[in-house]
Structure formats: structure tokens, C-alpha cells
Structure 1
Amino acid sequence: MHVSHTRSTGTTTGTITGTTGPTGSDVLVIGGGIIGLATAWRAAQRGLRTAVADPEPGGGAAQVAAGMLAAVTELHYGEQTLLGLNLASAERYPAFIAELEAESGQDTGYRACGTLAVALDADDRAHLRELHALQRRSGLDSQWLTGRECRRLEPMLAPGVRGGLRVDGDHQVDPRRLAAALVTACERAGVVFHRDWVDRLSVVRDRATGAVLADGTELAADQVVLAAGSLSGRLAGVPDDVLPPVRPVKGQLLRLTVPGAYAPFLSRTVRAFVRGSHVYLVPRENGELVVGATSEELGWDTTVTAGGVYGLLRDAHELVPGITELPLTETRAGLRPCSPDNAPLLGPSALPGLHLATGHYRNGVLLTPVTGDVMATVLATGELPEEARPFTPRRFSPVPHEPVPQEPVPQEPVPQEQPA
């Protein structure tokens, strides 16, 4: 199986520092999405000779994601353990972005603009009230607003808005710019890029020792990180009981352009409950407006459908009627890597030498800083940081392991929100 969506160029770029020796590199990261890139960048900063194998570094789910950094408004019942990791990563974002932009010389589109979540009918208002209660019980900062107060903040909202939650700590970043900056930062840190498919993992005497590319090139490494998103569960050579249980969840997303005559259209990210379904609008400083996203269990299908586009535009129009005047510039569909408990798999697997950094589902962009830090610590010291221990891949392993403490799950039934 090939871990990528794109054709190979068969080239290698980046800077090699020091002598590679017989092991090739200290760390080989399989997958060059934002999770793999952050891991490689942080590992290289620790002095580890690091390589990334991917035909198109910076591609993957980040090219479709909206980039909401929504630790508070993405909270769901039963995910209070994940909340701690999300909050830890959100807290690191300003310093992470400042360092990344300084190292790469590129802007990432980070905006500390806040988020407004609103409801358009009585049922959705009740749902939002329940979410607000959960947020408050979890010690999170969110403010309930009346419909009039919501429209005062965002005048383009429909008159029918019934109420909302103002969350000033949920921000945004442009995932495409973030990915590009990470590629540059990796190159400047000495990461070697092998721009080719990964054909299979190399295993010698029950230990991961590298990988083989589609052109037959053998890459040796002391440690391997599998960070191939939804494709991580399909890599040949990984023992069946070690393969991460991740599956693809399709998401369709739209991009529109806000002409100067309409600016400012929205000042912050707006999320909404519209008759039980969910839609979000993310305004970029460059005039782009991202609208998303569907959540479809359709395997590896990435087709943009008329129904998906129609549903997003219908709900967005009911929320912000003026959206139908904007040019529609792009429609895309991508695949989120989802684990059985919607949380990432971070750290050593049951196969010595193989680490996992996958399964981030709807929180991949948000969790990029903490994932890079966690994986670099594991690779450099062999120790999984305390904050990441609930997310060890071994929680899904058939072999006995130390149980992971979990927060109690509240009993109130709340519909599952569509991921970003």
C-alpha cells in the first residue's frame, strides 16, 4: 500500500547535517502532513537526524481543513479527557506560531479573533444551552448572548438568530499556510525530504528499522513515526495487531471570496446549529471565507457532491443571508483520520521502534503544537509526557497494558457535532 494521495516526483530535498552512517537517520517520519511536519521539526531541533517520506509534504487533510482552533466550542460529551490535551495545545499556539513564523519567514494566517456559536430555532437554542452548561462545568470561559447581542457583534447574521455563545479564546489559523511554513522550517532545521510513496515498513527481528519507498529505495532509521493520517491503518509491513485503528471520515468544504464592497463580512469565526445540523464560517484576513463541513462515512471517497455543496450553502444562507452574493471559488473534499474514541494515538506502539502520531480526527490543526512537542520528547528521551499518556496507542492493543484513567461520561444525550 502507498501512503499518499499524490504521484511521486522521486526526488529528495532538504539539508543533511552530519554523517548519516549505516542507520540512515535517527528518525524517519512517514507522512508529511502538518502532524508529521511538526514532529519532524521538533525532532530536528532536539538534534536528531530526521527524515520525512511523503510525495507532497504539506499536503493531506490540512489542504481541506478550516483551521479552527476550537478547544472550547469543539467540546463534546464524553471527551473531557481530550479537552485537557486540546487546551494544552491551544495555550501553546501563540508561542508556536511566533517561533514558526520567525524560523520560516512565512505568515501562517493565525488570527486571535474569537468564535461565536449561534442557534436559529428553539431546539437548537436548547442544545446550545446544554453545551454552555457543559462548558461551564468543565471550567471553560464562554458567555451566553441573546440573539440581539449576537447580531450586534456580527451584523450580517440573520434576524432569526435566537441566542449564542461568545468564546473569545477559540481562534483560527490558515492550515495551508501553516503547512507551507512547517515545510520551510523543517528544511532550515536540516530535515531530509524523500518525496516518494512509502511502500512498506521495514521490520527486522520484531523491530521497526525504516521503510521502503515505491522506487525500491530502502530508508533505515533508529526510530520510525507513522503519521500518515487516515492512511496510517493501511501501511504494509506493520503487524496486524499494531496497525492503528483509524478510518477516513469524509468532509466537504467550500471557499468563497468576500469582495471589498462587502468587507468586513464577518469579524470572527461563526459556528451554528441550523435545525440540528452544523455549519461554520471562517473569515480569513485575505478576504477568503471558508464554509464547512460535511461528515460522511464513505470510506475513501473524496468526491465533491451537489448535495454536499447545496447543504452547506443552504445552512450558511439561513445563518448569513448575504453569503449568496459572494463568489464561490473552490469546493473540496478531504478525509479526516478518526480513531474509535475520536482521540489521537500518540507515542510508542507495541512494535519496538515504531511510534504513532495519527487519529487526530477533527482536531488535527489544533493539536499540531502539542503533538510535535510530545513526539519529540518521546523520540529524544523515550518517555511519553504525562499529558499524552491517556492517548497511548496501546489503549487499543489486545495485549494487557496499564489502564488509562478516563473522566466520567455525563448522561445527557447531545447530538454529535460535525468536525471541522
Structure 2
Amino acid sequence: MTALTVVGGGIIGLSIAWRCVRRGLRVTVYDDGGDNGAWFAAAGMLAPAGETSFGQEALTGLLTESARRWPGFAAELGDDIGYDRSGALDVALTSDDLAEARRMWAYSERPEPLTASELREREPALSPRVRGGAFRPGDHQVDPRRTVAALRAALGDAVVAKRVSTIPDGPTVIAAGTGTAALTGLPVRPVKGLVLRLRGEPGLLRHVINGYVDGRHVYVVPRADGEVVVGATQEERADTTVAAGAVLELLRSATDLVPELAELELTETVVRHRPGTPDNAPLLGHWKDDVIVAAGHHRNGVLLAPVTADLIADLVRTGRPDPLLAAFTPGRFT
């Protein structure tokens, strides 16, 4: 192979391109250079057990394998990308919320149960109203914005600011997120998500918080520099409106769990669209001719970046698909 074109410069496209370059291939990444990808809003939670449900065994396996590869991926990238292994806490506000959390645990690797007082020992900023929860030591986090910046820096001139409306000639990987549908006709839809960013002094929280609050789900992700990311909305919509009610609901849920968040500065509200598929699992592998697709990662683009990059880079280089790709072929919906 003389050269490879990657269409899409989000965390998936850049990770694939980086892995291909490290395998000795010449790569050009076409991307508009903006921040309109799902990665820009992503909180960066690396939580394989919390992102699937019954009947998604293949996806669970892929998520788990990618989480296993994240430490090496982060170390090889070399920059400060905010990779943190402090773990996560599941926190339930009411008895009903705790029952719901326990139902969710039945579909995943069972975390370490904690009483309300044990939770507050780990996180003194939690509300005294919380009823219980669990600790997930294997759930880590990374800063997607720093990761994308590091990948762009590593690739340098290989990333070209160009919007692509048709598939280029020659060997190509389509990793265009929600734009994949327009290029290929494959069933990738936009799923709207709203994320808030707050700013305070470092040290308010030590762990990622997965909150169950009066029947709602919210995540609170603290960064080492004092930023706190709050999110979890999901709507089958393509608009980019930041609705006041959605902001209010996220803030109410987050401050119910961590009252001190109400004192932090609200620095950003951002809407982006996750690329979803009919089964909310990614499209990975040969599509037609010499075109490979790596898209439709839905909520899991950041978590799945290392394994996607490795599997697709190996497929580009050898032409032989790894068995891990079998359940995610792009043609499975036709």
C-alpha cells in the first residue's frame, strides 16, 4: 500500500491514523479542523461495565478489551492527556435509586458495595442524603480534548483541513462520525447530548461520580485542574439547541449529589451529537472495494479508541480482520 486516506479527524480517525503511521504507513487525514465532533463534548469516562446491557456481550467484550489497552495507549501518546485511575463511585440518592443501581449492577461486573457513610468517607463533598452506592476501581477517565490535541500534534502535517463530500480514490478509512451516513449510506444517526463544564478549586472531588438521582442519571467528572464535567442527556434529535430545562435538570441532579457544585462557575454549555447505529454498536471493518469503515461508536468513542485503532490499523496493513471485528461488520444491517 502506497498511502492511506482517513476521512474524519475525531478521536477515532486520529487514533487510527496514528497507529497506522506507527506501523510504517503513509497517512493523510482529512478533517475540517473544527470541534464539531462528539469528542469535544465527551467527559472521557472509561467505564466498560457501565455502558452495555443484557444481550450486548460482543460489545461488552470490545469495551473491556479497549479499557485494558488504554494505559499503554496513554503511555505511548506521551502527552499529559488527563489519564486518571482513581476509579468511580456509583451514588444513589434515594432508596428507589439504590434499587435501580443494584438492577444495573446485575448486568455488569459487580462493583464493591458501599454504605452511605463509606461513600462520604471517600468523598466528603457528597450530600448527607445519599443512601448508598458502590466503588468501581477499574473505571478510569481521560480528557478527550487533550487527547485529540496530542494526536493532532503527533500526526502533524498528516492532518489536512479539508471537508470531504465524496469518498476519495484509493485505500480509505471512513471515520467521520455522524457524517459517515452521508458518505456511505450506512445507518449512522445523530444522538444529541448536552454537557456542562464548571470551574472551581482543584480537589473538591476525588472520583468520577455516576449518580442515580430521583430516577435520573447524571455523571460528574472532576479534572485535576479544577474543572468539573456534568452530563448524561441523550435525545434522538439533530438540533444544537441548548435548552434551559435540560441545563436546569443536569445542575439540579448534580447539586443534589454534591451541593458545593452550586458555588462553582458555569463556564460552558455544549451540545454535540453521538454517532448511533440501530444496535448502538460500532461499524468496524471492510465496507466495499478498498474502503474500511470505523464509525457509529455512540457513547463509547473515547473508550473504544485504542482497540478500534489497533484493529483497523492491522486490517489496513494485513487485509485480514481480527475475530473481534466479526460482530461489528458495516454490512450487518443490509
TM range (shorter): over 0.9
**1:111-160 C-alpha deviation (Å, 9 max, x unpaired):** 1110001111122111111222322xxxx251111112111111111112
Structure 1 range deviating more: 50-59 or 263-272:
50-59
- For residue 207 of structure 2, the aligned residue among 268, 275, 278 is 268
- For residue 8 of structure 2, the aligned residue among 31, 45, 48 is 31
Aligned equivalents of 1:131, 1:55: Cα separation in 2: 39
Paired position in structure 2 for 1:331: 269
Which residue type is aligned with residue 112 of structure 1?
R
Secondary structure in 2 aligned to 1:378?
helix
Count the aligned residue pairs. Answer: 334
Paired position in structure 1 for 2:228: 289
Give how far 1:47 is off.
1.8
**1:240-288 C-alpha deviation (Å, 9 max, x unpaired):** xxx22110011111101122xxx42110100111121110000001110
**1:310-344 C-alpha deviation (Å, 9 max, x unpaired):** 11001111111111111111111100001111111
- Could you say if the C-alpha distance between residues 253 and 58 of structure 1 is closer, same or farther in structure 2, counting changes exceeding 3 Å? closer
Q: Which has the larger radius of gyration?
A: 1
Which residue type is aligned with residue 125 of structure 1?
L
Residues 34, 58 of structure 1: 8 Å contact kept:
no
- For residue 147 of structure 2, the aligned residue among 167, 175, 178 is 178
Aligned equivalents of 1:165, 1:345: Cα separation in 2: 33
Residues 203, 224 of structure 2: 8 Å contact kept:
no
Paired position in structure 2 for 1:70: 47
Which 4+ stretches in 1 moved above 6 angstroms? none
Paired position in structure 1 for 2:180: 232
Residues 132, 165 of structure 1: 8 Å contact kept:
no
Secondary structure in 2 aligned to 1:166?
strand
- Could you say if the C-alpha distance between residues 304 and 57 of structure 1 is closer, same or farther in structure 2, counting changes exceeding 3 Å? closer
Paired position in structure 1 for 2:105: 132
Structure 1 unpaired stretches of 5+: 1-22, 202-209, 211-219, 398-420
Aligned equivalents of 2:241, 2:327: Cα separation in 1: 35
Secondary structure in 1 aligned to 2:302?
coil
Residues 152, 159 of structure 2: 8 Å contact kept:
no
Paired position in structure 2 for 1:340: 278
Paired position in structure 2 for 1:7: none
Secondary structure in 1 aligned to 2:107?
helix
Paired position in structure 2 for 1:80: 57
Matched, 1:108 2:81: yes
Give how far 1:77 is off.
2.7
Paired position in structure 2 for 1:195: 161
Residues 258, 287 of structure 1: 8 Å contact kept:
yes
Give how far 1:73 is off.
2.4
TM-score calculated relative to the size of structure 1: 0.77
Aligned equivalents of 2:137, 2:23: Cα separation in 1: 34
